[in-house]
Structure 1
Amino acid sequence: MALIFKWLLRLATGVFVLAVGLVTLAWYFASRSLPDYDGTYSVAGITAPVEIVRDNADVPHIFGQTDDDVFFALGYAQAQDRLWQMTMLRRTVQGRLSEMFGPRTLKIDMLMRRLDLYSLAVSSVKAQDAPTTAALTAYAAGVNAWLDEINTGSRGRGAPEMWIFNAPIAPWQPADSIAILKLLALQLSGQATEEVLRARTSLIVSPERLADILPDDPTGGIAALPDYSALVGDVPKYAANTRGPRDPLYPIAPRGLQGASNAWAAGITRSATGSTLLASDPHLQLTAPTVWYLARLQLASGDVIGGTIPGLPVVLSGRSADLGWGITSAYVDDQDVHIEQMNPDDANQYRTADGWKNFRSRDSIITIKDAPAVTLKLRWTDNGPVLPADTFDLGTITPPGHVTSLSWTALTGDDPSLSAAMAMMRAHTIEDAIKAAEPYVAPAQNLTLADRTDVAMKTIGAIPRRDPAHQSKGRLPSYGYLPENQWQGIMPYVDNPEFVAPDGGIVGNTNNKTVDRPFPNHVSYNWGDTQRVNRWRRLMQSRQVHTRDSFIEAQLDTVSFTARALLPLMGADLWFTGDAAADGTPERRRQIALDLLANWNGEMNEHLPEPLIYAAWLRALQDRLIRDELGPLSSEFTHVDPVFIERVFRDVDGAAIWCDVLQSAPVETCTDISRQALDDALIWIGENWGQNLETLRWGDAHQATHDHPTLGTVPVLQWFVNIRQSTSGGDNTLMRGQTLGTGPDPFLNVHAAGYRGVYDFADPDSSVFVTATGQSGHFLSRYYDNLGELWRRGEYIPMSLDPDLARAAALGTMVLQPRTSSKSP
């Protein structure tokens, strides 16, 4: 026995030593790719020395003698910190993920090849103006200079992920940056998803009930729509979706998780500072690292500072000394799904107004790791690319003998959007910025502006011109061969909504409806917000004048207008009406929950129990209201629509009928359903978060999930690469923390403001900004999550253009010298 014990001890010790050795070796190789922010490097591609000063938050301040040299250094710095992220963005838009990940990502690659965004980006290089072409070329050279340093300087393959998913990195090209902007447009788009869901729902419910469950913004009119089955015949009454589990790398966001944002500005008459103010916080999916990268650029037109996206040589949201700009998703109706009839005698043809016509087609070969390559036939109609049945759930609404195509403004090979963004970054006045944005195509944005004297907002991006006789007004898929369903070009830029120097002195957008114009001059029927705007309006009008701090306070506001509006309706006949109940009974728990909510002010604070009770009740309530009518389709309604709930409880146009369960004999009232939903919620809370309601914390359920898209599900590694934080806010608060909406943890915070900035033009260097994680994409770097805790607590870092301040607390200074020979020092 002693001998056995001795050998087991030796074996265990050996295994432990081996494990420690392997971990140490892995750490050594991974740490080799940590960049050194100090030193002098000799590089080819610049004309004079360039200085990259990293301030104490690891924000690069880039000083150079020419703009091209500065953009070179930006490419160098972004590649140092975010090479893996940049590589993944490029591979995604190219449809080349399967070369690294195998069959897992084949569907993603097939979709991206069909959309053909990368080819369109290559064609769009020639559409850029001369300064942008030069900037793209210089930026690409900077990225490639860092790749050369990796290859010659033993830099550990550039990123720790490269040791796991080893694949060659091609040199960066100008088209790669344009392609990433098109990928961003895809991630922010939701109109096609909405069209398909509206069609699927219309097959189940009447037009009157469709207006309840998919309501228009109540501040505007409702367009009369034909029933989808009457519009496009021979579709199944109900078809389940054809999607499998969603891969974290899938580029099309689920419904409710597309682009969002807040931005507002105050003119001199509404500012206590003597100049203008601007606040901006664009919302995207939370990831580790965040998609945002802070940078300051010294340009001939004036220094700029703000948020960039790795791969793009432009400050998308930021400021110069004279102008600040913020962006919010404009929710322009820039996509249409078309039902294309195929020739029953020739599968290579589709129907047009002039008869049968051949699809434009070409083959595309997808290389797959550890599997045979796949040859994909790409097809296009006059309306756009033909898409597979599992994209947007198109298979559920496509009649037999038909395929679907997509019209989308981003599907152009003559796209100068990046040039427009670069020109906006160089503008000094509102007038110049609005003029510079005219060529911009996609993704459509509301551009909020503040110069030293005025404020403005302009919708930028292409808005399709539709025929007044369009069958569905662009709200449902329609036959592509009918001329009235096809786009008639693009509306003039002058017709895009514009608000300059408003009388009230304040402009802003929370993805709410900006204009109410009749079809076909409308902007959209589908808007991203009907709730946050009410709280924003209240906060803006509650003060005669604003300061930087009041703008920060609004940006971080967690009071839910929705909770304050809906709870009195949901609990109208429940408060103070129950009989006394013993401890531990469902009735007593209900009373405790109602007492807590009755004294709650609607603040979605992470430390309070009420937000969790409210959110669980609201979620259970919508599910009870719709599941009997919609069946399995109800699972597609992952987020509660407050307008629907209000319509039901106020019985708008007979909407209270949703409270009656169709399959039961009794006629249920809305009070019955509300009480049952509250009991459902309390049971769910008890099973998942405990029985003591008073000790619940919203932040335990509403954790921000900054997950690594590729390593975030890998055992052990996920502990190092994922960042989880207890957070306040919710779906309908200004400090928006959009919840997941599905699965065992439906209240995880997955979509929020990855960037926040507040700019004060009375004292521009007192402006502040922050991102959701940190500057580095290297999970062993101390700058991987150094900004994340500030972001969680609602704190910021200085946003100064003063070079002395950057140098005073610099953590490193890198000098790039022009290479004078073929050798590096």
Structure 2
Amino acid sequence: MRRSTRAHLASALAALAIAGCAQGARVPLPGPAPAPALRADNADSAVTLPGLGGAATVAWDGLGIPAIRAASREDALRALGYVTARDRLFQMDLLRRSSGGRLAEILGRDLLEADTRQRLHGVPRAAAAILARLPEDQRAALDAYAEGVNAYLRSAEPLPLEIQKLGYRPEPWRPEDSLLVVLSMFQTLGGSEEGERTRTVLTRTLPPSVVAFLLADTDPYTKALLGAQAAAPPPLPARELRALVEKAARAAGDDRAEGRSAGVLSPRAGEAPVGSNGWAVAGARTRDGRAILANDMHLELGVPNVWYRAELRHGDAEVAGLVLPGVPMVVVGTNRHVAWGLTSLDGDLLDLVELEVHPERPDEYRTPSGWKRFDVAQEIIRVRGEADVAVTARSTVWGPVASRPLLGRPVALRWAALDPEAVDLGLLAMERVRSVDEAVAVMNRAHGPACNVLLADRRGRVAWTVTGPLPRRRGFDGAVSRSWADGSAGWDGYLPPAALPRVVDPPSGFVVNANQRMPLGAGAPALGRDYANGYRAHRITERLRAARPVAEADLFQLQLDAQAGFFDVYRDLALRVLGGEAASRRPALAEARRAVEAWDGRADVSSVGLALIARFRRVLADEVFAAWLGASRAAEPTLELSLADIDTPLQRALTERPPGVAPAGGWDAFLLGAMERAVAEVKQRHGARPLDQIEWGAVSQVRIAHPLGAIPELGALLNMATEPLAGCGFCVRLAAGSLGASERLVVSPGHEPDGVLHMPAGQSGDPRSPHYRDQQRAWVDGRPLPLLAGPAVRTLALTPDQPMNR
């Protein structure tokens, strides 16, 4: 679920719209913006808002960023629901439909598979159960937000362009819809089964020494950061790998066997993860004693952007930052006393429980208390233009039965997101914390997607901790799927707040997380798996150690760092290959050597040579892992290795070069052949241009598309322009096609006017609005925009529909 939903939405919407065009129902290109209530180009206005307890105001600045003022939290959230729906109604509706398994009813059969998965996993039922358990203040926040959204829905004319095209009217917003949106982010950050599936297949099909070698979770950069806490790397199992390579070579004569082993790496294996950068610098390292937080969250980019900028003031609470449309709270930001940012923890919040089905009664499975019948429910999925589809969802005492088996056996999904005890809106309490100590306590108690938390407070202090429900496992470590039927394995709730790790006021004067493994100390419980390569964290740490004193501008520039030292090992290897006698006799490889020698070590748009080096790395990885993992692919034909770090074992093999471990023909022949293939692929993509004239900007191009943007006559209107972008999948400035920084925030609590915040696209989801793309240029160019809303260019007065008795 980490990357597929947006792609499914885009293809389905495009197919639907194009089909409509082919039948004569062409999408009318919108003209100038009309002037319904609350459009971005309106003058001052007033609206009556049902449920409001007192007067409230919204002031928009020149970027369409709302500053909300109200007497109470609930009134501020009513106003937030109203203005967010005004700007992002279609996005909000798609988010709740995607999470709740209700896309097919507006988009058709192409989304039936995605809907079926959500229904089989019981996500809508989980949202309702979570709602029933929330504390009163969180439920009140959801109710108030829904009232604001629905007030806008009742008056929204015309409806957003996409909704007009699809020909439906959104249903009223329910409090549980906000929880569906929370669960959608849960799935993005911690809802993938693929890691455990991969580890299970490898464990069942490969020698233990090979599994330990492939799954070592400490790369050289992370090892340098961990110091003495880093575990010794496992030995390279040359004999076992040699046997696997020989087996693959024997199978190469059989086309079907060769097909099983080829392409075992997923397209995203070893590439940029969904994640983030975050760091906080203490006052001892800044110009005037202020602590400064920096955070840029890396997600799949789209139009509109995943985040919505907002400021809320009620009583003595003042919060500014980023909101997830559909959810009534600031996810990252500042309250003028404490600033907070998040990065993905890659927390292990999910287990696949191997089910022991009764050999004679297939409707029963074994549990610690004996055989038990599967719970069965019928889910009805409405499909646009077709008959409804009935889906049978089975569940167990541990959770729903997964939609596909693992190694031929059914598995149940034990996932924290489906546990009503493990999801809440605890981050709401961040609006009133006054120190990093109070913030750590709030974050450790809050439940939701598991994240690293970076904190800075007004007194110059900084901290790192984690948030989210982290399972307390019994009898196993959660690395691979196993049976829980005998009761020896399972979950005993979640780690208590006191058991969660934290670093407060470190001697270094700063804390950094870029999705790498963090130092936890001896005996600490494991938090996650499949951590990102530590190069980004190492580079950030290296820059911060050298920088003193620093200010907001310095940290913003660090967010734009495009140094690409991660590729140095592949550059050096390429030069050795290209300096050999065999390479000197090939003119194309002489050209390749000039390109590699010309690389400046960076991923700037103008950098040359990196395109070839990056392709060389991928060819090496594809061929090496195909030779090593043929047996695993044969056991599980759908296996695609999706681990975040493939480079640690790959580089070990390339450095030590044990005989017989190369895919074919010995190391020299293999490396030369891999370089020739990389050269051919780069030339095929970039035509007749000499390799030393192919700039990185021809490869690194940002693509930020609207779901309807594939329609030819709408693409230019709805999509952001595709253009070169500095950065790479391993750079601090992470850029990998449509994956990148969904925002960049730099702020010192108490010094918010000096803060920075920008994001792709703009505030509005309406292409006719001036705020549809007015932050895009600053985001691409790396130009800071102010964190706080500027002078008001339009205001809205919100009044109760009737006087409230106090």
Using the size of structure 1 for normalisation, the TM-score is 0.84
Q: Does 1:452 align with 2:458?
A: yes
The answer for the alignment partner of 1:716 in structure 2 is 713
* Structure-1 residue corresponding to 2:796: 814
User: Per the alignment, in what secondary structure is the counterpart of residue 182 of structure 2?
Assistant: helix
Residues 1:483 and 1:25: Cα distance change in structure 2 (over 3 Å): closer
CA contact (8 A) 1:277 1:548 kept: yes
- Mean Cα displacement is larger for which, 185-194 or 291-300? 185-194
Structure 1: which 5+ runs fail to align?
Answer: 1-17, 228-236, 247-252, 390-394, 582-586, 740-748
Contact 2:448–2:468 (CA under 8 A) maintained in structure 1: yes
The structural deviation recorded for 1:318 is 0.8
**Which residue does the alignment assign to 1:298?**
313
Amino acid at match of 1:757: L
Shift of 1:166: 2.0
1:570, CA displacement in angstroms? 4.4
1:659 correspondence with 2:665: no
CA shift for structure 1 position 257: 6.5
SS of equivalent to 2:703: strand
- CA 1:194/1:30 → structure 2, altered by over 3 Å: closer, same or farther? farther
CA deviation string 1:233-282 (max 9, x = no partner): xxxx99979xxxx9xxxxxx999675300110011111123211110111
Aligned to 2:282: 267
Secondary structure (helix, strand or coil) at the match of 1:62 reads strand
Residues of 2 paired with 1:77 and 1:726: CA distance?
33
- 2-structure distance, mates of 1:656, 1:323: 56
Is the 2:514–2:536 contact (alpha carbons within 8 Å) kept by the matching residues of 1?
Answer: yes
Partner of 2:164: 163
Aligned to 2:396: 381
Look up the match of 2:620. 621
Amino acid at match of 1:673: F
- On the 8 A contact 1:349/1:358 being kept in 2, the answer is yes
Tell me how far 1:544 sits from its aligned partner.
Answer: 3.4
- C-alpha separation between the residues in 2 aligned to 1:145 and 1:673? 65
2:363 partner SS:
strand
Query: What letter is aligned with 2:544?
Result: M
1:704-751 CA deviation, whole Å, 9 max, x = no partner? 121223x133333233222223211111111111x3xxxxxxxxx121
Quick one: structure 1 residues 655 and 542, their matched pair in 2 at CA, closer, same or farther if it must change by over 3 Å? Answer: farther
Q: Give the Cα separation in 2 of the matches to 1:198 and 1:483.
A: 22
Measure, in 2, the Cα distance between the counterparts of 1:655 and 1:80: 62
Alignment partner, residue 729 of structure 2: 731
Deviation, structure 1 residue 757: 0.3
The alpha carbon displacement at 1:485 in A equals 2.8
In structure 2, C-alpha distance between the alignment counterparts of 1:732 and 1:61, rounded to whole Å: 36
Q: Secondary structure at the match of 2:109?
A: helix
Q: Quick one: structure 1 residues 421 and 703, their matched pair in 2 at CA, closer, same or farther if it must change by over 3 Å?
A: same
Q: Which has the higher contact order (CA 8 A, sep 6+)?
A: 2
Matching of residue 603 in structure 1 with residue 602 in structure 2: yes
Pair 1:254–1:413, CA change in 2 (3 A) = farther
1:775 is matched with 763
- Residues 415 and 354 (structure 1 numbering): CA distance in 2 closer, same or farther, change over 3 Å? closer
How far has the Cα of 1:601 moved from its partner? 3.3
SS of the aligned residue for 1:465 comes to strand
Paired position in structure 1 for 2:9: none
Provide the residue aligned with 1:431 in structure 2: 437
Q: In structure 2, what residue type is equivalent to 1:36?
A: R
- In structure 2, the partner of 1:562 is 566
1:745 match: none
What is the rounded CA distance, in whole Å, between the counterparts of 2:129 and 2:791 in structure 1?
40
1:74 corresponds in structure 2 to 80
Report SS of the residue matched to 1:798.
coil
Give the distance between the partners of 1:215 and 1:674, measured in 2 at CA.
24
CA RMSD of aligned residues (A): 3.2
- Name the stretch that deviates more: 450-459 or 358-367: 358-367
- Counterpart Cα distance in 2 of 1:95 and 1:601: 48
CA 1:679–1:25: 2 relative to 1, 3 Å: closer
State yes or no: 1:493 paired with 2:494. no
How many angstroms apart in 2 are the aligned matches of 1:34 and 1:727? 38
Q: What are the Cα deviations for residues 5-30 of structure 1, in whole angstroms up to 9, with x where unaligned? A: xxxxxxxxxxxxx99x9989542599
Q: Distance in 2 between matches of 1:36 and 1:224?
A: 61
1:91 partnered with 2:97: yes
Summarize the alignment of residues 306-317 of structure 1 with structure 2, pairs less than 5 Å apart: 306-317=321-332
Cα distance, 1:426–1:127 mapped onto 2, change above 3 Å: farther
Report whether the alignment pairs 1:408 with 2:408.
no
Is 1:685 the equivalent of 2:682? yes
Q: After TM superposition, list the pairs within 5 Å mapping 1:500-579 onto structure 2.
A: 500-516=504-520, 521-575=525-579
* Partners of 1:567 and 1:580 in 2: CA distance: 17
The 2-side partners of 1:267 and 1:23 are apart by 57
Question: 1:307-332: per-residue Cα shift (whole Å, max 9, x none)?
Answer: 11100111111112111100001112
Q: Deviations over 1:352-373 (max 9, x none)?
A: 2332111222222111112221
State the secondary structure of the residue aligned to 1:361. Answer: strand
What per-residue deviation string (whole Å, max 9, x for no partner) do you get for residues 608-628 of structure 1? 222212211111121222223
| Structure 1 pair 58–29 and aligned structure 2 pair: CA distance change class (3 A) | closer
The answer to whether the aligner puts 1:363 opposite 2:378 as a matched pair is yes
Name the structure 2 match of 1:643: 648
Distance 1:635 1:416 in 2: 30
SS at match of 2:387: strand
Q: Return the alpha-carbon distance in structure 1 between the equivalents of residues 549 and 746 of structure 2.
A: 16
**Residues in 2 aligned to 1:516 and 1:675: alpha-carbon distance in whole angstroms:** 42
> SS at the partner of 1:63?
strand
Matches within 5 A, 1:82-481: 82-150=88-156, 155-156=157-158, 158-189=159-190, 192-202=193-203, 204-218=205-219, 219=223, 220-221=230-231, 259-389=274-404, 395=405, 397-399=406-408, 402-418=409-425, 420-453=426-459, 454-467=461-474, 469-470=475-476, 473-481=477-485
Q: Which residue of 2 aligns with 1:6?
A: none
Please report how far the alpha carbon of residue 222 of structure 1 lies from its aligned counterpart in structure 2 after TM superposition. Answer: 7.8
For the Cα contact (< 8 Å) 1:270–1:544, is it kept in 2? yes
SS in 2 for 1:511: coil
- The total of aligned residue pairs comes to 739
Pair 181,451 (structure 1): closer, same or farther in 2 beyond 3 Å: same
Q: Aligned partners of 2:455 and 2:660: how far apart in 1? A: 46
Aligned twin of 1:795: 783
User: What residue number does 2:49 align with?
Assistant: 43
SS at match of 1:178: helix
Distance 1:650 1:161, change over 3 A: same
Whole-angstrom CA distance in 1 between matches of 2:272 and 2:536: 16
| SS of residue matched to 2:746 | strand
- Cα 1:347–1:561 shift into 2, 3 Å: same
- Taking the aligned partners of 1:790 and 1:350, their CA distance within structure 2 comes to 57
| Cα distance change, pair 22–438 in 1 and its aligned pair in 2 (3 A) | closer
Q: Percent identity?
A: 25
Tell whether the 8 Å contact from 2:563 to 2:601 is kept in structure 1 after alignment.
yes
The residue identity in structure 1 corresponding to 2:695 is R
Corresponding position of 1:52: 58
Once residues 517 and 114 of structure 1 are traced to their aligned partners in structure 2, the CA distance between those partners, rounded to angstroms, is 39
User: In structure 1, the residue corresponding to 2:420 is in which secondary structure?
Assistant: coil
AA matched with 1:555? Q
Residue segments in structure 2 that go unaligned for 5+ positions in a row: 1-20, 224-229, 241-256
Letter in 2 for 1:589: A
Contact 1:624–1:673 (8 Å) recurs in 2: no
Structure 1 residues 484 and 531: CA distance shift in structure 2, 3 A: farther
Is this contact kept in 2: 1:61–1:806, CA < 8 A? no
How far the C-alpha of 1:752 sits from its partner, in A, is: 1.2
CA drift of 1:573 comes to: 4.7
Would the alpha carbon gap of residues 130 and 476 (structure 1) be closer, same or farther in structure 2, given more than 3 Å must change? Answer: same
The CA distance in 2 between the partners of 1:409 and 1:734, in whole Å, is: 31
Instruction: Please give the secondary structure, in 1, of the residue aligned with 2:279.
Output: strand
